[in-house]
């Protein structure tokens, strides 16, 4: 159904949509975050590095065009015929004056070979004027908004200093879906204090929401983050590779077949990573997920009907 994969991969979706290889060009437009500039906090989410989840974005001292050219040149060594999606990755990329947002989005769309935008943001940073701008862009080009959720559990959200609630995520999602803007939710497995059931509950909620894409992340403990200090003071078990694989595969089995899996695991710079160190072997993790799906003779959505049947009386996680 999805080429050589047992799940609806991002790469497969893009090839079906554009008929060729498409890759993301991660950009750092110099944004900050309400969790860093004092509006909600000053230290950010406890797991975030100083780059605000943009460790692989362009170098911030370069302007957007220079970042575009730098990343494009590097990627073209591998895919010379590819086109690109400009990916505003670092920090909160709808958190700024509307004129500035329009300027940088338009600038990125005008770079040669760019066929669309992906904009990473927070659910509490989608005022009406931003939604109107995103809706306008969505009508003229290919657009995704990547919306940080991480967990549906507000007690965990407070511990990791997210600065918003699950209800605020729902409200932000509703705004985007009202304008038919494709939305990708980010979730993290392995957050401190969360049990396997807590993580499963988050994945069940996401699978029940009108979301078009999902990104899986493994919690990384990185140097020079608040999480490093928390981990030193309150040691908690980090997920093993097998635990993570089982969680991801269990989630894949209940996702709608049309939901696009943008990422199965995240990356951390080697020099910053404290743990889990097995995550550095990314291709081993991805291959192990493929192997586990094959071992189960399973695929995305295989258990979805059973999941919906057993949860039909519980609509607390479903947007009406």
pLDDT digits (tens, 9 = 90+) for 9-21: 999 999 999 999 9
231-290: pLDDT as tens digits: 999 999 999 999 999 999 999 999 999 999 999 998 888 999 999 999 999 999 999 999
pLDDT of residue 261: 98
Q: How many CB atoms lie within 10 A of CB 201?
A: 16
Residue 50 in this model has a pLDDT that exceeds 80: no
300-317: pLDDT as tens digits: 999 999 999 888 655 544
pLDDT of residue 253: 98
CB-neighbour burial class of residue 14 (10 A; exposed 0-12, middle 13-18, buried 19+)? buried
Residue 51 in this model has a pLDDT that exceeds 90: no
Report pTM: 0.94
114-138: pLDDT as tens digits: 999 999 999 999 999 999 999 999 9
The predicted model gives 172-189 an average pLDDT of 98
pLDDT of residue 288: 98
What whole-number distance in Å separates Cα of residue 317 and Cα of residue 222?
32
Residues 258 and 217: beta-carbon distance below 8 Å = no
CB-neighbour burial class of residue 148 (10 A; exposed 0-12, middle 13-18, buried 19+)? buried
Q: How many CB atoms lie within 10 A of CB 237?
A: 9
pLDDT of residue 80: 87
281: CB partners within 8 A, 6+ apart: none
What phi and psi, each to the nearest 5 degrees, are found at residue 158? -70, -40
What whole-number distance in Å separates Cα of residue 97 and Cα of residue 100?
5
Q: Over pLDDT 90: what percentage of the chain?
A: 84
What whole-number distance in Å separates Cα of residue 215 and Cα of residue 265?
8
Task: Give the model's confidence band at 58: pLDDT under 50 very low, under 70 low, under 90 confident, else very high.
Answer: low
**Selection from 218, 236, 189, 215 nearest residue 284 by Cα:** 218
All structural domains of the chain, each given as residue ranges with its CATH number in brackets, are 10-315 (3.20.20)
């Amino acid at each position: 159904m999805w080429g050589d994969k047992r799940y609806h991969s991002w790469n497969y979706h893009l090839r079906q949509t554009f008929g060729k290889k498409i890759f993301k060009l991660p950009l750092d437009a110099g944004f900050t975050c309400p969790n860093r500039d004092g509006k909600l906090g000053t230290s950010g989410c406890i797991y975030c590095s100083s780059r605000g989840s943009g460790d692989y974005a362009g170098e911030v001292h370069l302007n957007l065009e220079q970042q575009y050219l730098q990343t494009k040149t590097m990627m073209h060594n591998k895919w010379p015929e590819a086109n690109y999606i400009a990916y505003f990755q670092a920090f909160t990329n709808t958190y700024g004056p509307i004129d500035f947002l329009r300027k940088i989005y338009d600038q990125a769309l005008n770079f040669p070979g760019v066929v669309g935008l992906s904009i990473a943001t927070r659910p509490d940073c989608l005022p009406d004027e931003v939604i109107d701008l995103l809706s306008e862009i969505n009508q003229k080009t290919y657009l995704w908004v990547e919306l940080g959720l991480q967990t549906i559990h507000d007690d965990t959200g407070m511990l990791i200093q997210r600065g918003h609630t699950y209800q605020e995520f729902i409200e932000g999602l509703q705004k985007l879906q009202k304008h038919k803007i494709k939305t990708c939710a980010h979730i993290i497995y392995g957050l401190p204090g969360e049990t396997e059931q807590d993580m499963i509950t988050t994945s069940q909620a996401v699978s029940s929401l009108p979301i078009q894409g999902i990104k899986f992340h493994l919690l990384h403990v990185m140097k020079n983050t608040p999480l490093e200090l928390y981990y030193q003071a309150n040691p908690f078990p980090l997920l093993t590779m097998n635990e993570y694989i089982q969680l991801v595969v269990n989630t894949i089995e209940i996702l709608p077949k049309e939901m696009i899996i943008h990422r199965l695991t995240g990356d951390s710079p080697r020099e910053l990573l404290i743990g889990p160190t097995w995550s550095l072997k990314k291709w081993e993790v991805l291959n192990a997920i493929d192997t586990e799906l094959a071992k189960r003779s399973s695929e995305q959505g295989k258990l979805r009907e059973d999941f919906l049947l057993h949860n039909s009386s519980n609509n607390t996680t479903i947007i009406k």
